[in-house]
């Protein structure tokens, strides 16, 4: 799998990544230059004094290696939609809540957190980890750290005994709690073929040990042209 040779780092970590990609995609993994993903599921959101699960949609766009965006919509029963978007384009992080004008976020901790979370999301696909901008470091027999040197973002990749992806995790700022926490994306053992791309059938995303989102992939468009304005939250 020559694409793996682009990633730098420990031989042990590189071998674990190779095995993880083969476990997911077989001997011919897809080359992903850009990607659109759509998920549906539920989110644990705070409504007044309590948290409750509500229907939730998530759309993610990637123009590897430096531009990423996600849009989310929560639909609480008998209440207005909760929606927004976040994006990293190069060194710029933008955030939008509802229909308000997008804000450029300058707080260093928030910018770093967003880069890391979006990188963790990209890491679930596995093949972005084989890019030449990535450095791999072994952290255990079935785990390694993947650092995107252009984004200055790292995530730990944890594999099951069969080398399938179990979890991506990292430490970053939870802006809502205003403290550093463990952000994680846990994958189901089952895979789903969505428009010919093999993905975990379900993702569970959360902070520390508390799940925040549960989502399943429903739509994929690979290697399509994504206008730059998308990542600037101009569209």
89-92 long-range contacts (CB < 8 A, ≥24 apart) are 89/228, 89/231, 89/232, 90/66, 92/232
pLDDT tens digits for 138-175? 999 999 999 999 888 999 999 999 999 999 999 999 98
- Give me the residues paired with residue 12 across strands: none
**What band does 114 get if pLDDT is binned at 50, 70 and 90?**
confident
pLDDT tens digits for 50-62? 788 999 999 999 9
Query: Which residue range(s) make up the domain with 52?
Result: 2-231
With a threshold of 0.85, does the pTM exceed it?
A: yes
CATH of the domain at 74: 2.50.20
More confident residue, 65 or 184: 184
- Cβ(53)–Cβ(42) below 8 Å: yes
- Dist. CA 182–CA 208, nearest whole Å: 5
Structural domain total, the chain = 1
Could you write out the DSSP letters of every residue in 119-171?
Answer: HHHHHTTSGGGGSTTEEEEEEETTEEEEEETTTTEEEEEEE-TTS-EEEEEEE
Least confident of 9-13, 173-177, 225-229: 173-177
Least confident of 103-112, 185-194, 195-204, 225-234: 103-112
- Residue 226 gets which letter from DSSP? -
């Amino acid at each position: 799998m020559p694409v793996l040779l682009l990633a730098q780092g420990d031989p042990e970590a590189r071998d674990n990544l190779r095995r993880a990609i083969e476990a997911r995609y077989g001997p011919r993994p897809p080359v992903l230059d850009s990607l659109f993903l759509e998920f549906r599921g539920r989110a644990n959101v705070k409504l007044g004094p309590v948290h409750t699960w509500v229907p939730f949609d998530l759309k993610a766009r990637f123009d590897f290696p430096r531009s990423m965006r996600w849009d989310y919509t929560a639909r609480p029963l008998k209440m207005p939609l909760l929606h927004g978007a976040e994006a990293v384009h190069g060194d710029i992080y933008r955030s939008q809540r509802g229909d308000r004008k997008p804000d450029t976020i300058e707080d260093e901790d928030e910018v770093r957190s967003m880069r890391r979370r979006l990188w963790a999301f990209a890491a679930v696909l596995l093949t972005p980890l084989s890019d030449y901008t990535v450095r791999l470091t072994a952290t255990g027999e079935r785990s390694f750290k993947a650092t995107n040197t252009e984004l200055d973002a790292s995530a730990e990749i944890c594999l099951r005994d069969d080398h399938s992806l179990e979890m991506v995790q990292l430490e970053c700022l939870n802006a809502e709690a205003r403290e550093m926490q463990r952000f994680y994306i846990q994958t189901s053992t089952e895979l789903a073929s969505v428009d010919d791309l093999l993905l975990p059938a379900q993702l569970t995303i959360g902070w520390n040990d508390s799940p925040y989102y549960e989502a399943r992939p429903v739509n994929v468009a690979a290697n399509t042209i994504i206008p730059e304005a998308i990542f600037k939250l101009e569209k």
